[in-house]
Structure 1
């Protein structure tokens, strides 16, 4: 088994995110995603079909930004985590969102780590 971390860092999108009236308009949000990806063997042919192509992630986040929006950052990071975990090779994902313009002196954000449950089968001896 070969384990890699695939990273999409600092993707800025304009999206509707928040509960306050002034957040009805799209605002700047920065997203970073770290995916722990398992491959049967290390890639050796230097071809994209051997590994996770991160275009799906960027495209998926951009589609979310173009959608109806989210009330909570927690909901946004869960949606991005679910997108990543839809690929069976992704064992764990960390997603961070940052609203960049809420305060003049600080960004505010949310981060979640999600992974697959490992199902261990037990044989009963009888």
Structure 2
């Protein structure tokens, strides 16, 4: 009789409802000052992240992702949410153990009756 293998556990780290002031937009009035942007991130981790032994050195430290996004948001003007999301995806996928990242942004102050945003998912290149 073959022993049953435990199913692979999926592990994720997330940052939700991260409110930032970002210089973003294509209109002249948007270029006059920063706007609120809400960022949500979901990171799929590889199996190696499971053997952490309760030690921070063995896991993805979300401070690095959080602080990296703050620095990115302050670094330049973004015309489009799509460009900001792509830059955050680049940051996330350079972190050890991250195999997939889902990033969304919203500009909550554009309309009074809805939220508008952009979302993209990217996997780390095989290799």
Same fold (TM > 0.5) = yes
Shift of 1:46: 1.3
Segments of 5+ residues of structure 2 without an aligned counterpart are: 1-7
TM-score norm. by structure 1 comes to 0.86
Pairing partner for 1:65 from 67, 73, 78: 73
Q: RMSD of the alignment, in Å? A: 1.7
For 2:88, the equivalent position in structure 1 comes to 80
Segments of 5+ residues of structure 1 without an aligned counterpart are: 120-126
Q: Which one has the bigger helix percentage?
A: 2
Distance in 1 (alpha carbons) for counterparts of 2:121 and 2:49: 25
CA change 1:28–1:13 in 2 (3 A) is same
Give the number of equivalent residue pairs: 119
SS at match of 1:40: helix
For 2:18, the equivalent position in structure 1 comes to 11
For 1:48, the equivalent position in structure 2 comes to 56
TM-score norm. by structure 2 comes to 0.86
Distance in 2 (alpha carbons) for counterparts of 1:41 and 1:26: 36
Shift of 1:2: 5.8
Pairing partner for 1:97 from 83, 101, 105: 105
SS at match of 2:20: strand
| More deviation, 77-86/98-107 | 98-107
Pairing partner for 2:36 from 8, 16, 28: 28
